[in-house]
Amino acid sequence: MAGLYFEELHEGRVIDAEWTRTITESDNVLFCGMTMNVQKLHLDAHFAATTEFGRPLVNSLLTLGLMIGMSVHNSTQGTTIANLGMRETRFPAPVFAGDTLRVQSTVIAARPSASRPDAGVVTFRHEAFNQDGKMVAFCERSALMRRRPVITDMT
């Protein structure tokens, strides 16, 4: 499905990502390596076993990236001009290798752009839940979204 235009992203609209994603240990190790995050809590099983979690945590930035990325295909694919920022990012519960995430996005604000007549600013609240329905992450993300193209009569 193509992304939604600004006019389709009205306040209160809820969009389910329509798919889930199981996070693997390899995902976490690869992400930590690519981002140069050598935190033992993510990579050292023996160290992590001594913590309150008892096993390695998935890097929270991987969780954030998956949460937003999983929402793209049926909400903003091809209609986002740019991300403008994120705020209120939280990780209320840990994510572990083997957890399966699902994502829901809600439009919490939408307004026409003051400087670009072809665009609007939309704020989404993205929420990620694990296989038990427990919320593991959320954030508010503002994006500059394309307005629906105006089709002129060619007759």
Beta strands in 1-155 (DSSP E): 14-22, 80-90, 100-112, 119-129, 135-146
What domain count does the chain have?
1
Structural domain containing residue 36: 6-146
Full-model pTM: 0.90
Answer yes or no: is 132 within a domain. yes
Answer yes or no: is 152 within a domain. no
Answer yes or no: is 151 within a domain. no
Q: How confident is the model at residue 155 (pLDDT cuts 50, 70, 90)?
A: low
CATH number for the domain spanning 66: value is: 3.10.129.10
Answer yes or no: is 10 within a domain. yes
| DSSP secondary structure of 2-34 | PPPPGGG--TT-EEEEEEEEEPPHHHHHHHHHH
Answer yes or no: is 114 within a domain. yes
Digit-coded pLDDT (tens) for 43-84: 999 999 999 999 999 999 999 999 999 999 888 999 999 999
Answer yes or no: is 108 within a domain. yes
Answer yes or no: is 106 within a domain. yes
Q: How confident is the model at residue 12 (pLDDT cuts 50, 70, 90)?
A: very high
**pLDDT value, residue 153:** 67
Answer yes or no: is 82 within a domain. yes
Residue 39: DSSP 8-state? -
